[in-house]
Chain A
Amino acid sequence: MALSKRELDELKPWIEKTVKRVLGFSEPTVVTAALNCVGKGMDKKKAADHLKPFLDDSTLRFVDKLFEAVEEGRSSRHSKSSSDRSRKRELKEVFGDDSEIAKESSGVKKRRIPRFEEVEEEPEVIPGPPSESPGMLTKLQIKQMMEAATRQIEERKKQLSFISPPTPQPKTPSSSQPERLPIGNTIQPSQAATFMNDAIEKARKAAELQARIQAQLALKPGLIGNANMVGLANLHAMGIAPPKVELKDQTKPTPLILDEQGRTVDATGKEIELTHRMPTLKANIRAVKREQFKQQLKEKPSEDMESNTFFDPRVSIAPSQRQRRTFKFHDKGKFEKIAQRLRTKLFGLITEENPKREDYFGITNLVEHPAQLNPPGNVSTPVTLGVYLTKKEQKKLRRQTRREAQKELQEKVRLGLMPPPEPKVRISNLMRVLGTEAVQDPTKVEAHVKAQMAKRQKAHEEANAARKLTAEQRKVKKIKKLKEDISQGVHISVYRVRNLSNPAKKFKIEANAGQLYLTGVVVLHKDVNVVVVEGGPKAQKKFKRLMLHRIKWDEQTSNTKGDDDEESDEEAVKKTNKCVLVWEGTAKDRSFGEMKFKQCPTENMAREHFKKHGAEHYWDLALSESVLESTD
């Protein structure tokens, strides 16, 4: 605990003050002796022995205070900058009247001294009025800070009192206490002294924050639910607290309001009793702790987890198990009653010739202009027909463009912008073009001509090949063409087949649908087999041809007919397999995925399957048509 010289220098004024307070006058010899003790790092007992000759009776008290002062000085040095300290000193000087309070309560303190000695450490203390917590009495700094805070709060209150009513916080002091008490519990007693300042600082800040929140609440009429501030203030002045505010505040921690003496007061200025921690013996503390520990052992660990320190009553905790929601049935005839009431009201109006009828309906001469929605599918792009030329026109166009290109080339050559092209020679015109040379060296010339021809041929073929799509591109193009654009609506057709048991036919349907990129479903049900396909119009056209022309539906029955001749002709005709187009049209989206076959033994099952895809009307129509057909 030995201190450096600089630290001692800093401590000197503190000690001087302490001496003055204890003895009633300043005594430099005592101060130096005390400094010596502190500087050497003596403990309390040694220091007391050392100082006994100077101070006699009040030695113990002095030593105690000295150590407190040292401790305090050190902690303040650790936590705050020197400028802060100087400011505090200034404050101390300004509010120098603390000594009176100290003197007033000195009697109380005297009784406590021996206990402090035994405990040796500062017990935890909550910030409260100094008259009730003697352990804090000597802490001038704390008091001053608290006073400063109180002043600020008071100022704020004064300001607020013009715009908003004071909060009815003091009405719920009991609710605020359980929150505050546990704070003391968690602090280690040994650290209490160092925490003290922080705790007070925090309390002050919290108070300030509360004040600010109150101010904001007051400024926001919507939160309080009363727009008329003046009226609210008046209400309060008459002694009636606005009910809504009260309700709100009960769920929140109430702000701490302190008066000049640092006592906790309510809005009306009445002092309120807060429960305080009294300093006790270590043994007592231990006993309490032991009991607490035992209790904790008894209690569930989960409860232990949510120790009160972190408990915020404002946060609603969802119960671990969700409550089972039950059905809420309306009573029979409830809505009928409501409707009846409405009707009687309505017709009553008419029969009475109530002049306010128009108000009842809201009949005005206003003309509504609802927002106009664009139709589904992109209709905004104008549909233009492609320009198709006749053969003659096509030829003419080609001729013209080629002539233009040729002319341009000629002009370029004439202007010397490009070298003249090589004369185009063929075997047939080589004599004419090369003349004498051909005569002179016919072999060479022929070779040259042939090479040129080959070159021309090659260039032509290469140009063609370059224009050609690659195999990949060709494939993609083909698929794109087959898939068609169905963003504007998908074409749907529904077929009904009497007998779809032949696997070859099933395969044909599936394979064709797959190749045409059609989606849909085939539902197999006794006599009514429904095939629904969705896709582009061209694919539908092809599929329609497959279903109605290409597949010979009566083929198989004719074979079986040969097998069993006992069936009458009429029945055979009736049972002849055939396929009917039930419906074709358009819809916004596909409702089915890849083509699938579904065996449905019952009608309900088939309908359910369709309903699952939101297309039960196809099934309804197919079924009822087949029923109609059979009855005819």
Chain B
Amino acid sequence: LDFHRSLAALELPMASSRATSTAVKTKAPDDLVAPVVKKPHIYYGSLEEKERERLAKGESGILGKEGLKAGIEAGNINITSGEVFEIEEHISERQAEVLAEFERRKRARQINVSTDDSEVKACLRALGEPITLFGEGPAERRERLRNILSVVGTDALKKTKKDDEKSKKSKEEYQQTWYHEGPNSLKVARLWIANYSLPRAMKRLEEARLHKEIPETTRTSQMQELHKSLRSLNNFCSQIGDDRPISYCHFSPNSKMLATACWSGLCKLWSVPDCNLLHTLRGHNTNVGAIVFHPKSTISLDKKDVNLASCAADGSVKLWSLDSSIYSRKIQHTFTIAKEVMSPSSVFFNPKCYDRSWRLWDLEAQEEILHQEGHSMGVYDIAFHQDGSLAGTGGLDAFGRVWDLRTGRCIMFLEGHLKEIYGINFSPNGYHIATGSGDNTCKVWDLRQRRCIYTIPAHQNLVTGVRFEPIHGNFLLTGAYDNTAKIWTHPGWSPLKTLAGHEGKVMGLDISSDGQLIATCSYDRTFKLWMAE
């Protein structure tokens, strides 16, 4: 009571003191916050009335002042000179710090960091941080990267990546046509090709002129005869080639043998037309992409010489002779090879790689004489002109290019397909090129007009191969992933016959050099021979 009285004497507002006291009291049952807080009523009775009474009597004034003075003198009452300590501000600053830390942790939680340790290290390096600390495991490293990223933001990493991409892009865009000097052997080879191809071209033209001499009526009747026979094409033989999909088939130049390449790594030689296994060529360890005969093998070439060439997905090219089934030599590539073709000039062959280039090899010297770039993506198929002067390449970048092997120039750019080109072939007439593409179409190009002259809506799935009839080019054969191969008239490009029968995608096809037999091989592990009845 005495304490209260003195308070009253100091003229402090009574209510505030009471409020603090009640607040202290109510803090205790904090965990039980109720809508209506249960207030412990500690009521000592209002002193106000009594105070007023006392003041009215006039006895408090002097007493209060004296008491105040005494209190100050005694040091019990301290009066500040207006200095203020801003608790609010101080607290808010600290609060902000803590909140920022919370934010950071929240961000860190949301950042996705690779679980691949090498990638984590690469990221750390890109950010200029040590890639590892003493005794740090992959998990800690990952956590560290996450924390760093939560501070600097993930944009930092993206930026560096983007810069890299940009520089790469600009590099590519900067690319323009340029030349470099090849080895001397290249010039020799080119001269050889020129020497070889020009008489052939002359011969071809003479033949064409002779063909022109034949009266129109006989020509049309011949054509009709051919079409009739083609309409009657039928599945003549079907053989299970291996226990894995067969990727490629190729007739020997004398049409007595068929070589098949299989994903099991084996290549097989079959007799035609009875389809008996003659040889199994063991040597590749992975998928064999293609196998081709030497254009002179079985005709004039010795059996001991290089008669066949095959390539596999691991980048190896193997050359085979016919007398033994053991491969004779081996050429190693670092890139996957899609397909290979031997040029009609028989000295050179052409494996094409997924590394955006194609090569020209000298078979005798067994050395690469030309490494030709030009496609922005892998080169998938290549074909030689009948004369041996031109080569056509079809790339996964949906463009085709025709190269003059004698000058080394790209003489025609085949632009028009929407998707990858999987097949390309020259017509024996010398100026038509057919390309098969992933957009289900087959385009026919004219070398003389240098443009696409017709688009055949050929199949209902991607076209894997195109072949012209090898003697006169009177028809066109296309095979596709819709399990069929189709025969089209040429020119005219109307459908003649659909070779349906395969249960899987048609992976490869070929027409025998006499034009009588058609072979298709498929994903269903079989190859089929087709012949007119």
Contacts and interface: CB of A to CB of B under 8 A. Distances in A.
A441 B36 CA distance: 10
Interface string A410-447: 01100101000011000000000011110001001100
Interface string B166-180: 000100100111111
Given A369-B175, A624-B495, 4 more contacts: A368-B177, A375-B399, A437-B38, A586-B419
B199 A408 contact: no
Interface string A368-403: 111111111101100000000000000000000100
Interface in B179-203: 179-184, 186-187, 190-191, 194-195, 198-199, 202
Contact of B172 (A372, A404, A417): A372
A415 B98 contact: yes
Contacts of B99: 417
A321 interface: no
B409 A364 contact: no
Given A363-B406, A364-B187, A366-B179, A621 B457 contact: yes
Q: What are the 3 A-B residue pairs with the smallest beta carbon separation, nearest first?
A: A585-B440, A365-B187, A624-B494
Contact of A411 (B34, B102, B199, B454): B102
Nearest to B454: A617
B314 interface: no
A369 B187 CA distance: 17
A365 B407 contact: no
B33 A423 contact: yes
Interface in A613-631: 617-618, 620-621, 624-625, 628
B12 interface: no
B304 to A, nearest CB: 33
A437 B34 contact: yes
Contacts of A350: 195, 198-199
Contacts of B184: 365
A583 interface: yes
A367 B181 contact: yes
Nearest to A628: B495
B448 to A, nearest CB: 11
B425 interface: no
Interface string B362-404: 0000000011111111000000000000000000111101000
B343 interface: no
Given A365-B184, A625-B495, A585 B374 contact: no
Contacts of B297: none
B532 interface: no
B495 A375 contact: no
B279 interface: no
A69 B76 CA distance: 119
A494 interface: yes
B439 interface: yes
Contact of A367 (B102, B186, B377): B186
Given A369-B180, A585-B457, A617-B457, A347 B397 contact: no
A522 B36 CA distance: 78
A496 B38 CA distance: 86
A374 B205 CA distance: 37
A375 B376 contact: yes
Nearest to A346: B198
Nearest to B497: A628
Given A494-B457, A583-B460, A365 B186 contact: yes
Contacts of A436: 38
Interface centre among B176, B370, B377, B408 (most CB of A within 10 A): B408
A270 interface: no
Interface centre among A367, A422, A586 (most CB of B within 10 A): A367
A448 interface: yes
A445 B454 CA distance: 85
Given A441-B36, A585-B439, A366 B180 contact: yes
Interface stretch (A198-206, A286-294, A354-362, A548-556): A354-362
B408 A373 contact: no
A608 interface: no
B418 A376 contact: yes
A93 to B, nearest CB: 70
B141 interface: no
B436 to A, nearest CB: 12
B95 A417 contact: yes
A364 B407 contact: yes
Contacts of B418: 376-377, 489, 586-588
Given A370-B401, A445-B35, A408 B373 contact: no
A617 B493 CA distance: 9
Contacts of B234: none
A374 B458 CA distance: 25
B33 A422 contact: yes
A586 B439 contact: yes
A367 B439 contact: no
Q: Is the interface of A mostly helix, strand, loop or mixed?
A: mixed
A441 B175 CA distance: 86
Nearest to B494: A624
Contact of A435 (B32, B169, B183): B32
Given A363-B194, A373-B397, A437-B38, A368 B457 contact: no
Contacts of B374: 368-370, 372
Interface in A580-632: 581-588, 617-618, 620-621, 624-625, 628
B352 to A, nearest CB: 15
B105 interface: yes
Contacts of A367: 179-182, 186, 370-372, 408
Nearest to B401: A370
Contacts of A371: 175-177
A416 to B, nearest CB: 8
Contacts of B176: 371
Contacts of A444: 35-36
Contact of B460 (A375, A415, A445, A584): A584
Contacts of B409: 368
B194 A357 contact: yes
Nearest to A434: B34
B109 interface: yes
Given A362-B407, A373-B376, A586 B178 contact: no
Contacts of A368: 177, 179, 372, 374, 408-410
B356 interface: yes
B106 interface: yes
Interface string B188-222: 00110011001100100100000000000000000
Interface in B287-326: none
Nearest to A362: B407
A375 B397 contact: yes
14 contacts: A350-B195, A367-B371, A380-B169, A404-B109, A408-B105, A417-B102, A423-B33, A437-B35, A445-B35, A448-B35, A585-B459, A617-B456, A617-B493, A621-B457
B89 to A, nearest CB: 16
Interface in B446-498: 454-460, 493-495
A372 B495 contact: no
Nearest to A441: B36
Nearest to A363: B190
Contacts of B415: 373
Given A363-B187, A367-B180, A415-B98, A583 B455 contact: no
Interface string A470-504: 00000000000000000001000010000000000
Nearest to B397: A375
Contacts of A366: 179-182, 408
Contacts of B182: 365-367
A170 to B, nearest CB: 53
Nearest to A351: B199
Contacts of B190: 363-365
A372 B109 contact: no
Nearest to A339: B205
A243 B221 CA distance: 67
Contact of A581 (B38, B105, B178, B460): B460
A180 B311 CA distance: 86
B407 A363 contact: yes
